[in-house]
Amino acid sequence: MILKGQNFRILVYDTTASKFKCVGMATSCQITQGTNTDDGGTKDDVGMAAKPVVVSQNWSVQVESLNVSDAGAMLTAIKSLTPFTLLWDEVSTTDNQTPEEAAFARTGTAYLNDLTLTFNDRENSAKSLQFAGSGPLSTVSTTPAFEAISAGSYTKGQFVRLFLSSDNTAAPVAVIAAARQLSIHVSMQLESATTKDTPGTWEVQEPVALNYDITTQALVRGNDTITSAVGAKSYADIQTIKETGNPVKWKICNVSGDNQRTAGAVIVSGSVVITQLQTNNPNKANSDYTATLTGYGAYTVGA
Amino acid sequence: MSKKTPQTTETKQPTFVEELLKNGTAVLTAKTRDELAEMVNDIPANVKYGVGAVGFNPDAGVFTIRVDISND
């Protein structure tokens, strides 16, 4: 029988519970195992064909999920530069969770090196995790310590919004008006730390830098009163911030109220510089703009 | 004469705060988003924490939010 994707899962070791747990509400996962080769061709070889010789191996894992309830924990994890222990395995068809110790099951240590959280209007929010393996992959011969996860919750994108200030001293209290899309992307730059001391062929990675950016898309509003009425940021305000070029404070929070503009618990906050602003104005369609905000210094998770 | 139980003025912490302090993480559940926000506000000011996004579990009909003790 051909294995179905729902029975091939990524599990992350929970150091508090000392057990592996599936990435909750996952929709897909991808595992890449790569090799680096040197050209081993010499004059001794007859013919013109290349002769790649394996010199090192690397691996990476990508997981997509609809669970953003752990957004704060993930943002903390990538910032703290600590590696995770991952396991991938075939899981039981009865619960899509219990590891089966398949022949292809592997476990290893990896850094969370790329995290994207997406909060789009009237869509389920999503999380994309990318892990870069550091060190060897091991086969799984005994049943791993495992704990089932409980049902997760859907987060609708309109209930999470971006707020900005006008400078880097004031609090970010103005919501992006008429916003449709929002995503925050954090990437950790890794550098190979493989040396002659490293056993085997597996590459070892070491974190060296952290960058993040926020992208928001909103409709362009004309000269109406929304800005003064609700303290929101319009296209014109974003344009002014962009042209001034100074950092401004931001926060992404849970929101409530009739128009989803009342800020609640803060998920993450910090300072940014707006590095790109683009407006699209097709005929017989709403004008919109997309702003890219590049992180300035460290972000703060939570309240 | 029965002995009177001494009254205490100490306010007991909500269960989820105890769980949060014990495990470093807790999932708060409430019937409404406002109720959830009030629960987050009940976390003592001296506790540094991070929150996730407010989610909705349609099967159970409840709003949820995950709170983690911050490592910062």
Rounded average pLDDT over A276-293: 97
Is A39 among the domain residues?
A: no
Q: Are A79 and A118 in contact (CB under 8 A)?
A: no
Is A195 among the domain residues?
A: yes
Q: Which pLDDT value is given to residue A273?
A: 97
Give me the total of CB pairs closer than 8 Å, taking one residue from chain A and one from chain B: 104
Q: Which pLDDT value is given to residue B13?
A: 75
Who among A152, A156, A265 is closest to B65 (CB)?
A: A265
Per-residue tens of pLDDT for chain B, all 72 residues: 445 555 555 567 788 999 999 988 999 999 998 899 899 999 998 999 999 999 999 999 999 999 998 866
Cα gap A208→A151, rounded to integer Å: 36
Query: What pTM was computed for the model?
Result: 0.92
Please tell me if residue B69 touches chain A, with a CB cutoff of 8 Å. no
User: Band of the pLDDT at A257, cuts 50, 70, 90?
Assistant: confident
pLDDT at A227 over 60: no
Question: Which one, of A81, A92, A240, A258, lies nearest residue A165 by Cα?
Answer: A240
Measured between beta carbons, the chain A residues lying within 8 angstroms of B49 are 302-303
Instruction: Return the residue of A nearest to B68 by Cα.
Output: A73
Cα gap A227→B17, rounded to integer Å: 39
Least confident of A34-43, A288-297, B42-51: B42-51
Q: Which pLDDT value is given to residue A19?
A: 96
Q: Are B20 and B67 in contact (CB under 8 A)?
A: yes
User: Band of the pLDDT at A33, cuts 50, 70, 90?
Assistant: very high
**SS3 readout for B7-66:** CCCCCCCCHHHHHHHHHCEEEEEECCHHHHHHHHHCCCCCCCEEECCCEEECCCCEEEEE
- Domain B15-69 architecture: Roll (3.10)
Is A46 among the domain residues?
A: no
Q: Which pLDDT value is given to residue A68?
A: 96
Who among A151, A256, A303 is closest to B51 (CB)?
A: A303
Measured between beta carbons, the chain B residues lying within 8 angstroms of A80 are 71
Who among B24, B52, B70 is closest to A69 (CB)?
A: B52
Mean pLDDT computed over every residue of chain A: 94
Cα gap A142→A148, rounded to integer Å: 18
Q: Which domain holds residue A175?
A: 5-33+56-140+154-301
Rounded average pLDDT over A247-267: 93
Domain count for chain A, please give it: 1
Which residues, in sequence order, are CB contacts of A29 under 8 Å at separation 6+?
Answer: A5, A8, A9, A10, A23, A61, A62, A63, A64, A88
ipTM of model over 0.90? no
Measured between beta carbons, the chain B residues lying within 8 angstroms of A147 are none
